[in-house]
Every structure is written in C-alpha cells, then in structure tokens.
Amino acid sequence: MTKSKNLNVGLVGTQFMGRAHANAYLKVGRFFDLPLQPVMHTAAGRDPGRTQAFADRWGWANTTTRWQDMVESDAIDLIDICTPNNLHKDIALAALEAGKHVACEKPLSATLDEAREMRDAAKKAKRSSKAQTFVWFSYRGCPALALARQLVQDGKIGQVYHVRANYLQGWGGPATPLVWRFRKEFAGSGAHGDLNAHSIDAARFVTGEEITEVSGAIEETFIKQRELPGDEGGNIRGKGGAAKKKGKVTVDDTVMFLARFKGGAAASFEATRLAIGCQNENKLEVHGEKGAIRWNFEDMNVLWYYNAQGDAETNGWQRIMVTDADHHPFAHAWWPDAHILGYEHGFINLASTMFNQIGGGKLEVPMADFEDAYQTQRVLEAATLSARNRAPVKISEVK
C-alpha cells in the first residue's frame, strides 16, 4: 500500500484508555471500509518495560518514553492522548504545532484555562495545517445514542422539555484506596470530569442544543480520607493491596446540577461514584412535545422511544434493538440483528468516524472536536462555580 492510504498513529498512554484505543485501531479496519488504513506506529509511555510489553501485545511497531519523539517524527500523522487529564494540554499543543491531527481522551483538560488554550490552538492549526482534532466521548459511538440524535434531528421529539442525565457508579465506597482518580493534581476533578463530562456531551450531542445556564449545583466529597494504594500501577480502581496509611481526597465524589438548554428545556445532571449498587449506569432521558427517548449504557444496544403521536390503543415505550444493519447507525459494520455490541464498540465506531473524517469519507455521527469539547468543559466549570458560589451561573459568563 502507498503512504496516501495509511495513517500512522502515535499513542500516548498505555493504561485503561490506551488499551481501549489500541483495540479500536486494531479492529476498525476489519469491520469498516475506510478511506485510510490505521497503522499502529508508535506507543509512548513513561515506563520503558511496560510500554514495550504493551506494544508487543497490541502490535505497535515502535515505542518511546518521550511523547516528544512522536511530535518530532515526520512518520506520525495522528497523536492520540490517553494520559491523565493534567497532561492533555502540553501534548496536544505540541502536536498541533507540529501539524499532526490530535485525538484526546475526555475530559478535554483538567481546567477550563487549559481547555481554552487547546481550543484556540486547534482553531489556529485547522487554518494553518488542516490538522483536525477529536475528543473521545466514546458513548457517541454507541448506536443507540447515535439513533437518539437522529430521531431528534428528524423532528420526532419536537420541542425539548426535559433532559435527565444520571451517570451512576458505585465503586467509590470507603474501602476504595486513594488512586489517581481521587487526586486533583492528576484528575482535575472526580466524578464530575470523569462522568458528567460524558453526560453533558451526550445531552448536547443528542439534543443538538447548547446549555445556557447552570441553575444550581451540589459538589460533595463524602469520603474525605482514603487509604493509600499499595501499588499505584494496579487495577484502575485500586482493588487489592491497600496500605494502612491514609491520604486526603482532593476531588468530588459527586456533582449534581440543574441546567437550562437554549430552547428552554429544564435539565438535571448527576454524576457519582457512591451510587452503591450501580456499576456503570450512564443514563440519558429526553422528553419533548412529540416524543421521548431513554437510554442506559448497561443495556447499551437498546433505545427506548415513545411516540406521542402513536395509536392510543397500542401506544407505549418502544424497545428498539439498535442493531439493524439497514436502518441503524454503525450496525452495517457488525453482526446480525441483536447479536449485541459491547463497551469497546463505542470506541471502534468512533474510530471509523475519525478515519472517515480525515480521509474525506462519510460520517455516521460527528466526533467532538476541541471546540465542541470546550463547550462541554464550560458547562463542567459552570457547575463547579455554581456549587461553590451557591448561585446560578450563565454559561456565557464562563470562558
């Protein structure tokens, strides 16, 4: 194959998200017909041995412990950032400056200031080098959410009255040690940036509307001290190996907020790691004048839809199994009806979007770019401010 057909990817970060993205690069070309072929060119990580092991396992051709190497290399076309949030900005700015396409895990950054810088750099790079930016709000790649967006765009929901987004996890009980996700210097925030970021993006993505105000908010850290993890490189949630010594939790366990959308919709958001009994309940509900939709990631292949104009005798919530190759987003790439997809397929589907966008193919859904992710970051910031200032916050005042 010629260079014009390949796109060489450099990946920074080899933990949970590094693995999810590597899997996406491995598979996307097998299931989708793409204008460009992903090449797993270089993997970067801090620890040389672990980085090499990761590369061997996944088939990355090269490794480095300096992400700067990839920025400096002509061979790399796209840099994909899977580091802790506090490192997103420096890598992204350098990569954009070097004319690379940049993909970045969510949330865009640990602070709004960083997000603004990234957004500005992306805008500049787009003009100067046609570099494109992508943010991995992976749930956009779930066919059911993509269909939900389509139904809104087709007018099946009408004026939106209500949005309800709950992202409920329960792994953050008192027994969980102080892994990096509980430390502000690495994570920026707790459940808020981790989970509400997804919910805000999903709500904006599905409704096609911007949030204009956070009307009230609660931010809380119920568990204020946690045992230090015995080995920080362990399981992402620090299971096993906790030492006796405790350290201070510097991020939230939960952030809840009320909000308004541009079209007037009244919304509530809740992200928590203390919803005991819930594991990964990423839920979104939208009610409008003409219809409504409901989705829960734990049953991710199903979208519930209510058509207010349905025949009254038989009307009810419809359980749509979003796996019909002829009628549902992304389904053509996979298996027969109801041979269901899982978590990782969100990433693979979005990877198809990314390669199609760079290569000039047709998009089934748009991925967020830095501008788009910056809007989500403003809402995150507004919610934090609202909780701390105990007052509503207009998004237009958060920049």
Choose which of 171, 182, 205, 330 interacts with its own copies (CB under 8 A). 171
Choose which of 42, 83, 323, 349 interacts with its own copies (CB under 8 A). 323
Q: Taking the complex as a whole, how short is the minimal distance between the CB of residue 24 and its own copies, in angstroms?
A: 12
Q: Does 363 bind its own copies (CB under 8 A)?
A: no
CA distance 89 to 235: 26
Nearest 5°: the CA angle 125, 128, 131 is 45
What's the gap between Cα 96 and its chain centre? 20
Instruction: Give the range of 103-111, 114-122, 191-199, 318-326 binding its own copies by CB under 8 A.
Output: 318-326
Residues 96-125 that bind its own copies (CB under 8 A): none
What's the gap between Cα 111 and its chain centre? 16
Instruction: Give the range of 68-76, 118-126, 303-311, 358-366 binding its own copies by CB under 8 A.
Output: 303-311
26 burial via Cβ count (<10 Å: 0-12, 13-18, 19+) = middle
**Cβ atoms within 10 A of the Cβ of 167, count?**
27
Cβ distance to its own copies smaller for residue 61 or 391: 391
Nearest 5°: the CA angle 50, 28, 353 is 110
Nearest 5°: the CA angle 164, 181, 233 is 140
Residues 375-394 that bind its own copies (CB under 8 A): 386, 390-392
Q: Taking the complex as a whole, how short is the minimal distance between the CB of residue 331 and its own copies, in angstroms?
A: 11
Residues 68-97 that bind its own copies (CB under 8 A): none
**What is the residue-wise DSSP string for 161-175?**
EEEEEEEE----STT
Q: Does 170 bind its own copies (CB under 8 A)?
A: yes
Residues 185-224 that bind its own copies (CB under 8 A): 215-218, 220, 222
Place of tokens 């599905």: 206
Cβ distance to its own copies smaller for residue 122 or 152: 152
Map residues 9-28 to x or -, x wherever contact with its own copies holds by CB under 8 A.
Answer: -------x---x-xx--xx-
